[in-house]
Every structure is written in C-alpha cells, then in structure tokens.
C-alpha cells in the first residue's frame, strides 16, 4: 500500500496558503493582497484551487517567486505609502 513520504503533511501545510496568509507572510494587509490579485493577472492565475465563496488557495513558493518578480511588496515607504507620493 502506498503512503506519502515522511513529513509530506508538514510540507503541504507550510506551502498551501490563502490570501490572508500571503498578507501575513509579506507584512501587508489582506486588502493589499486583494489589490495585487486584481492588478496582476499573473499572480491571481497562480491559484491552484478556487473556492466556492470566491477565495483561492495558492502554492507559496510560486507566489513568493512571482511577488519577487513583480517587486512586491514595495516597502520603500514603510507599511504605508504617503498620500502625496
């Protein structure tokens, strides 16, 4: 009988993320992540599962690589960008 490799559960739990977890890992708000998903189709397209209530599940290594490629998050201004910038 087949069984998953040792620690497979831990790896899956570490790498499967939803938008709130992306926000936590990147130090931004959930709203910012929602804006990124709307603004960057390549990022939103990384969803591996679409949930019935409009949410999605992502594979963190892919998301992290795409965020780096896009230059996000932009922390040049700290947590919040100045209104006049």
What pLDDT score does 85 carry?
A: 44
**For 22-60, what is each residue's pLDDT tens digit?**
999 999 999 999 999 999 999 999 999 988 887 899 999
Q: What count of Cα atoms within 13 Å lies in the side-chain half-sphere of residue 16?
A: 11
Token pair of 71 as six digits? 């230059």
3-state SS of the chain is: CCCCCCCHHHHHHHHEECHHHHHHHHCCCHHHHHHHHHHCHHHHCCCCEECCCCCEEEEHHHHHHHHHHHCCCCCCCCCCCCCCC
> What's the pTM?
0.79
């Amino acid at each position: 009988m087949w069984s998953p490799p040792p620690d497979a559960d831990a790896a899956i739990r570490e790498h499967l993320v939803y938008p709130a977890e992306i926000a936590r890992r990147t130090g931004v708000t959930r709203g910012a992540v929602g804006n990124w998903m709307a603004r960057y189709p390549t990022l939103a397209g990384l969803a591996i599962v679409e949930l019935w209530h409009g949410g999605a599940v992502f594979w963190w290594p892919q998301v992290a690589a795409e965020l780096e490629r896009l230059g996000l998050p932009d922390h040049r201004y700290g947590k919040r960008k100045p209104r006049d910038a």
